[in-house]
């Protein structure tokens, strides 16, 4: 999860309607913009399954960005942005079908997603059609390390997040013997392995490394094995749907050591499920309200949806906005020209900070921060300053 403080651009802009259509099948070519009418941008998100709440948040953020663009006159001389929304259910097979549907709708770019396993499959489809895909939450390194030319991220990546988590465990929490728990998904296992590698380099070690069964209702036997290794801290890299119950049952077993989670555990559901057991739980995904440059976005989101924006909403908002910026600089809605313009992005001031892309599409200079549960809500935790010292993030 990346974190930066920059001025919010366009705060307080009134929100107007934006066209939303459902994707359907077909054989028409993708990326071949007609040059007239609405400019279609695909939005993919898990709108069913355990991660549906995160998916709804992502779609809502995309809608806010598109509404603001259209309120400001649209793109390329007044053409409106039209979002084409599909559900990938955080599943690779479903995501592949969803991408094929998006391609049939002649979208010129795609933004969104939540689960890395789905994105790894989805980006193969978009890359073959020369359609740029910007990941807003998917952090697995494979997404950008396969040589694909049309894939970008507004979020950071797991090897860097894993390194940050390992440093937090060893340097801030003073925990050298760590139990690492994942769920065998591409995201969770990749993040767990990154943290494991970094722990070793910092003089720490993983005394336990294994996967839970996602969706299980009783982790007692599993956690008993964890407890027997006498860890000084526990790092869970799975998703929020399992994190709350894992926390609750760990505390019920008498496990008192610090428990931290990856960026996919940042959700109010964790606190609701774990109750008082969530106190002190830390994640590497701060809420948008922690980011001063996102203040206008936070207010607009709350006004529009009567709900608080989740941790990945700002990264989806920025993904839509940077696509619009690329279209403007390219003076074209041709997908290849948009891709070229995205690669040439220089110091785009998003609500999550300054955006530049590495040659492989990764976001440059991602900065990480923790969020900690205090009095039943997430509050700013710790981050590293320029000198490498741990400081309060608030």
Give tens-digit pLDDT for 111-122: 999 999 999 999
All domains in the chain, ordered by first residue:
19-155+288-355 (3.40.50.2300), 158-280+369-392 (3.40.50.2300)
**6 pLDDT more than 90:** no
Give tens-digit pLDDT for 111-160: 999 999 999 999 999 999 999 999 999 999 999 999 999 999 999 999 99
Looking only at the bridges linking them, the beta strands covering 205-211 and 282-283 are unpaired
The reported pLDDT for the residue numbered 288 is 75
The reported pLDDT for the residue numbered 81 is 98
Alpha-carbon dihedral sign for residues 200, 204, 205, 209: negative
What average pLDDT does the segment 75-80 reach?
Answer: 97
Residues paired with residue 79 on neighbouring β-strands, in sequence order: 75
SS3 of 255, please? coil
Specify whether the CB–CB gap between 74 and 81 falls below 8 A: yes
What average pLDDT does the segment 359-375 reach?
Answer: 92
SS3 of 343, please? helix
pTM: 0.84
SS3 of 182, please? strand
DSSP letter at 51 equals T
Query: Rounded to a whole number, what is the largest CA-CA distance in the chain?
Result: 65
What average pLDDT does the segment 260-285 reach?
Answer: 94
Give tens-digit pLDDT for 80-112: 999 999 999 999 999 999 999 999 999 999 999
Q: Which 3-state string (H, E, C) describes 285-306?
A: CCCHHHCHHHHHHHHHHHHHHC
CA 38 – CA 166 distance, rounded (Å): 46
The mean pLDDT value of the chain amounts to: 90
């Amino acid at each position: 999860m990346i974190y930066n403080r920059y001025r919010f651009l366009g705060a307080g802009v009134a929100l107007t309607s934006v066209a939303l259509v459902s994707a359907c099948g077909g054989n028409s070519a993708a990326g071949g913009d007609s040059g007239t009418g609405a400019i279609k941008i695909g939005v993919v998100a898990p709108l069913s399954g355990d991660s549906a709440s995160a998916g709804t948040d992502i779609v809502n953020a995309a809608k806010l960005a598109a509404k603001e663009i259209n309120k400001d006159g649209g793109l390329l001389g007044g053409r409106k942005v039209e979002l084409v929304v599909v559900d990938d259910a955080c599943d690779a097979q479903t995501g592949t079908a969803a991408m094929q549907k998006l391609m049939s709708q002649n979208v010129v770019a795609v933004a969104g997603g939540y689960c890395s396993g789905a994105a790894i499959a989805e980006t193969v489809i978009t890359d073959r059609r020369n359609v740029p895909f910007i990941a807003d939450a998917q952090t697995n390194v494979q997404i950008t390390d396969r040589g694909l030319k049309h894939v970008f991220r507004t979020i950071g990546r797991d090897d860097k997040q894993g390194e940050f988590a390992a440093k937090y465990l060893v340097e801030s929490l003073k925990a050298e013997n760590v139990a690492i728990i994942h769920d065998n998904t591409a995201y969770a296992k990749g993040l767990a392995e990154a943290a494991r590698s970094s722990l070793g380099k910092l003089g720490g070690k993983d005394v336990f490394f294994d996967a839970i069964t996602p969706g299980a209702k009783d982790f007692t036997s599993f956690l008993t094995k964890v407890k027997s290794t006498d860890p000084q801290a526990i790092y869970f890299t799975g998703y929020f749907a399992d994190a709350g119950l894992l926390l609750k049952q760990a505390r019920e077993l008498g496990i008192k050591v610090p428990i931290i989670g990856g960026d996919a555990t940042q959700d109010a559901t964790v606190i609701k499920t774990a109750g008082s057991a969530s106190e002190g739980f830390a994640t590497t995904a701060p809420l948008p309200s922690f980011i001063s440059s996102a203040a206008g976005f936070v207010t607009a989101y709350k006004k529009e949806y009567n709900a608080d924006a989740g941790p990945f909403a700002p990264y989806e908002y920025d993904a839509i906005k940077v696509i619009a910026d690329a279209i403007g600089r390219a003076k074209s809605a041709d997908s290849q020209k948009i891709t070229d313009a995205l690669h040439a992005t220089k110091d785009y001031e998003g609500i999550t900070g300054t955006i530049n892309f590495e040659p492989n599409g990764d976001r440059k200079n991602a900065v990480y921060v923790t969020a900690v549960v205090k009095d039943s809500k997430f509050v700013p935790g710790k981050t590293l300053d320029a000198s490498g010292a741990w400081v309060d993030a608030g």
